[in-house]
Structure 1
Amino acid sequence: MNNVFAELPLSPMPAEQLLELLAQPGLRIERIVSTGQSSPPGFWYEQALGEWVLLLQGEALLRFEDEPQARHLKAGDYVDIAPRRRHRVDWTPPEQASIWLAVHYGSAADRG
């Protein structure tokens, strides 16, 4: 596959679809397709590496623990998430695919 819009799911899925597009030391790029998924109640991502995400298609509510309200992302919006910054996905619409491009960056030493 050489197109981020190729092989998209045709209907809602029970879980997000993750596809690694590139992996190099200190860098991983993946496509994430959401069809109504959100983070489980009380769950927060707290990743050792930085993550830059771009919403290519769809919408999402992205919440950071240190902000009072979720950010409403639409196609074209991006955000850089610092390592260990707690965040979660509060909502993605079930009637359309939300396609994310996620770039994880940092060194193996940062994972500790």
Structure 2
Amino acid sequence: MNSHPSQRERLMAALSAAENLVAQSPAEPYTVDITHHSAFPADAVGVQIFFRQDPGGVREFAAVMGVEPVEMASEFGGRPLVDTVASGDLDGVPYLAWTRAYKAAEVPALDTAPASGVAA
């Protein structure tokens, strides 16, 4: 008897896990993919959940799932980015929730004083 689940069984388990993960998430994901991923064990079919530019959404999701989110610095086109990632396993199905957001640029304070020579 073969105890290794078939691809169909792994896909069905991942679909079920995706439904449960989305239902439990306090934040609304932008996309949900059933996929193989380099972060998952070999031959595993898992769930990748993307929160579009929403680090808070990933942190809320992580809190509900009881996992710690991780933030990693990166950059694109010279602009600093932060990837926020939370991963775990639900009923034997690996999942990865993530987002990528630009770091907020420091904005100089506006000078609200009237220009010289301008009547108030």
TM over 0.5: no
What TM-score do the two structures reach when normalised by structure 1? 0.25
Structure of greater relative contact order (alpha carbons < 8 Å, 6+ residues apart): 1
Which has the larger helix fraction? 2
Larger Rg belongs to: 2
Which has the larger strand fraction? 1
